[in-house]
Structure 1
Amino acid sequence: MPRWNRPRPVAALCAVAMAVITALLSPTVTAAADTASPSPRAAAGLTVPAGVTAGVAVFDRQTGTFTEQLNPAMQFRSASVVKLLIALDYMWNRDPDYEIPAADRAQLNSMLRSSDDDAASDFWVRGGEGAIVSRMAYELKLQNTNPPPDGQDDMWGYTAMSAADTVKIYRYLLDQAPAPVRELIMGNLRQSTRCSTIDLFDQHFGIASAFDRPWAVKQGWSGFGGRENGTCPSAASVQGGEAADVDVTHPALHTTGTVGAGDRSIVAVFTLHNTGTPYGKAYTDLGRLTRSLTVPGGVRPTGTWFGTWNSGVNVRDGATTGSAARIKLPAGVEVLVGCQKEGQTVSVPPYTNQWWAYLPQYGGYVSNIYISSPDNQLPDVPLCRSQQ
């Protein structure tokens, strides 16, 4: 019988039970201090912004070596990164050639592409909640992965994971999983949507903003509020929830996945931020950290990074306030500017500005009045060609 479809032996079930007991008797998340100093550097180029606690692992599949490691075994609450394990567990005892019910496939697609929490919660309950994590930790030989704490079994986002274990998960998917399983999970991660389906957050941070495609990503975020803090134009809830004895005070933002042709590099970056850190700042800090990494096969996007100010800034189809809005920028987020052109004059007293910046990663424009630069026209940014 193929390994993927075989029943679990008694010894395995005992090991799972022991893993559950161990998890319930030990803390699952390492907290960040509000006065945290920058984490120690794993390499000269790796930059961890002040106030950020990070766990990092970058694995080059071509050479079989790590190019970056920083606190790789440190445990973080997983937020939505645990959805990788939820999907794997769903598929584990199925014949890979068995047709997945259409409703389940739709939920898997939405959970993996658009971080659908409702879909994750459904599979979580059906799979026995924390038992999912214990089974997958046993099968994949994960060292720093534990179910949510006792009494918080429904909080799948409080599963403890590390950067090192996340690299193991992706290595399994890419090198050992049956092709239908690999195609289902990795295929969906390659089609990651900018907007999450539930809490409306812009989820193309970290890997997705630091590198040009091809990439595949599964992101995670928790502690930034709910739908009212989202930036996308459609629909609803909050990842994770709250519970007393798990660190929910410090916002968490994680980026994981693969980068480059043939999934050359596996990247896992877990971060905790000081209490009260806005989503846009955490988004920017994680982006700066990710861009500082040595990632073989990764291609950096062309353009110049600038900070922004104000909240609710629209990215529009054209360089006018009457053009359709695509998305709102997370407040204060750093953006990549590809070019600029003159358009409708925008006034935010005492300032006026007729220049607009084209943001290639959003496919639209923002008024330069919201770009953090002293002059109306951005320095060292070329003019847009007529078709842009």
Structure 2
Amino acid sequence: MRRRAGLLCGAATALLCALTGAAPSATAAVPDPAPPAAVTQVDIPAGVTAGVAVFDRQTGTFTEQVNSAAQFRSASVVKLLIALDLLWNRTPDSLSAADRSRVDSMLRSSDDNAASYFWSVNGSGAIVDRMVARLGLTDTARPPSTHPGYWGYTALSARATVRIYRWLLDSSPASVRDYVLGNLRQSTRCATDGYDQHFGIAGSFDRPWAVKQGWSGFSSGGCTATAGVVAARSGDGERAADAASVDLARPALHTTGVVGAGDRSVVAVLTLHPTGTAYGKAYSDVGRLTRSLDVPGATRPTGTWIGTWGTGVRVRADATTSATPLTTLPAGVEVLVRCQKRGQEVSVPPYTNDWWAYLPQYGGYMSNIYLATPENQVPGLEVC
């Protein structure tokens, strides 16, 4: 007997299945090109508020701009500014071993404790003020006076995020560029707070890419069975009930970075989701949005995107429950499936299934019983 639920969404039909550096003390700001003459059809799921900007460095033009000047609370994307401020007028090699370890963890695994340390010792909101002036940023401001220690409440827009990356790529000293991007290329699937951070850019495109993600207002993010209620610090996990010009209440999920050979495209997708949205739902919605974008130089992974159900679903090294668990999935998230094979029979009464799906982006298998498809063996999906 097989659970019947959901839709099967292939990569080619994703739209149809969608729910509707030592830096110099003064560096010339990177000029903003004119917006595109026409905006392509970006898939923004129902209920999602998004700010989007995609910049093609080869042509010097934007291929996508949707609400690109709209301000969002930055969540962990502000860690880019924290790192660049720390490295202003100094080389990465000049950092102490402790500080270098903190920066590595902050950029690779979105370490909130590291960000809070640098925020405190380097002037808090003054960090943002300095970087706004240095990079010529628009739509960017320190956290509101009511929440001075909440670095994740820094206001930021998609176009300002693109400008940060363009400065890093084209104007920063090579040592800073290579160090920061080198860390972003080593983004870990699981962040230090237990959230799966390989959504959006990381899930939509094959490497090479470098990403800095952000999330705020969710209770659980996969990766470990107990992950979730550890993010209520001065950044990603905090929410506020007071009114502000920047929405501090709705759950936020952002994907930013560079994509393609030679870091051809800069991508910034900032999103807000309805109150109460589960992390897996937001993760999937940001994935669908990102996959709909015109990103020059990007290579799309092969496979079929399929929804899942259940909580604490494990991805294992082989098609058996005794195989090493690699991670857990955010509840209800869409996954990219490349192929399927028979393995150990799994029972979730009244359902049983001995087919397992291979998830290339996780490098392991999950039981087909948790795929939101009507049959034990996914129709049309090749056998591994």
Band of TM-score, shorter chain: 0.7 to 0.9
The verdict on how the C-alpha distance between 1:206 and 1:383 changes in structure 2, with shifts beyond 3 A counting, is same
* Partner residue in 2 for 1:364: 364
> 2: distance between equivalents of 1:368 and 1:3?
51
TM-score (norm 2): 0.87
Structure 1 match to 2:83: 87
- Give the Å deviation of 1:380: 1.6
- Counterpart residue type for residue 232 of structure 1: T
Unaligned 5+ segments in structure 1 are 9-41
AA aligned opposite 2:54: V
Instruction: Quote how far apart the aligned CAs of 1:321 are.
Output: 1.0
1:140 aligned residue (135, 139, 159): 135
Deviation of 1:379 (Å): 1.5
Equivalent residue, structure 2, for 1:61: 57
2:71: which partner in 1?
A: 75
Q: Does structure 1 residue 160 correspond to structure 2 residue 152?
A: no
Match of 2:329 in 1: 329
- 1:1-388 map, 5 Å: 4-6=23-25, 43-94=39-90, 96=91, 99-197=94-192, 199-225=193-219, 229-232=221-224, 236-238=230-232, 239-243=236-240, 244-246=242-244, 247-384=247-384
Which residue identity is paired with 2:377? Q
Question: RMSD across aligned C-alpha pairs, in angstroms?
Answer: 1.9
Cα distance in 2 for partners of 1:83, 1:156 equals 9
Measured after TM superposition, the shift of residue 231 of structure 1 is: 2.5
Residues 87, 314 of structure 1: CA spacing in aligned structure 2 closer, same or farther, 3 A cutoff?
same
Q: CA deviation at 1:4?
A: 3.1
Moved over 6 A (4+): none
* Cα gap change, 1:63 to 1:7, in 2 (>3 Å): closer
Matched residue type, 1:218: K
Q: Are the counterparts in 2 of residues 67 and 295 from structure 1 also a CA contact under 8 Å?
A: yes
What do the CA deviations read for 1:56-115 (whole angstroms, capped 9, x no partner)? 000000000100000000000000000000001001132x37521111000000000000
Contact 2:64 2:293 survives alignment (8 Å):
yes
Distance 1:380 1:337 in 2: 12
- Mapped partners of 1:102, 1:173: distance in 2: 23
Distance 1:97 1:255 in 2: 25
- How far has the Cα of 1:45 moved from its partner? 3.3
| Structure 1 CA distance for aligned equivalents of residues 160 and 343 of structure 2 | 49
Q: For 1:128 and 1:368, how far apart are their aligned partners in 2?
A: 51
Gaps of 5+ in 2: 1-20, 28-37
Q: Which residue of 2 aligns with 1:15?
A: none
CA-CA distance at 1:152 after TM superposition: 0.9
Number of aligned residues: 346
Identity %: 65
Q: Deviations over 1:296-329 (max 9, x none)?
A: 0000001000000011100011101111111110
Higher RCO (CA-CA < 8 Å; seq separation 6+): 2
Contact 2:23 2:176 (8 Å CA) reproduced: no
- Aligned partner of residue 23 in structure 2, secondary structure: helix
Shift of residue 151, structure 1, vs aligned partner: 2.5
Do the aligned partners of residues 281 and 98 (structure 1) sit closer, same or farther apart at CA in structure 2, a change above 3 Å counting?
closer
The C-alpha deviation readout for 1:222-264, integer Å capped at 9, x for no partner, is 0002xx6543379854325233345332100000000000001
Amino acid at match of 2:262: G
Aligned residue in 2 for 1:31:
none
| Residue pair 1:158, 1:240 contacting (<8 A) in 2 also | no
Instruction: Look up the SS of the partner of 2:87 in the other structure.
Output: helix
Distance 2:295 2:120 in 1: 37
Q: Deviations for 1:184-217, whole angstroms, at most 9, x for unmatched residues?
A: 11110000000001x2000000000000000000
Counterpart residue identity of residue 4, structure 1 = A
Change in CA separation of 1:306 and 1:217 when aligned onto 2, cut-off 3 Å:
same
- State the shift of 1:367 in Å: 0.5
Equivalent residue, structure 1, for 2:18 = none
Q: Give the conservation status (yes or no) of the 8 Å contact 2:92–2:176.
A: no
- Matches of 1:6 and 1:270 in 2, distance apart? 30
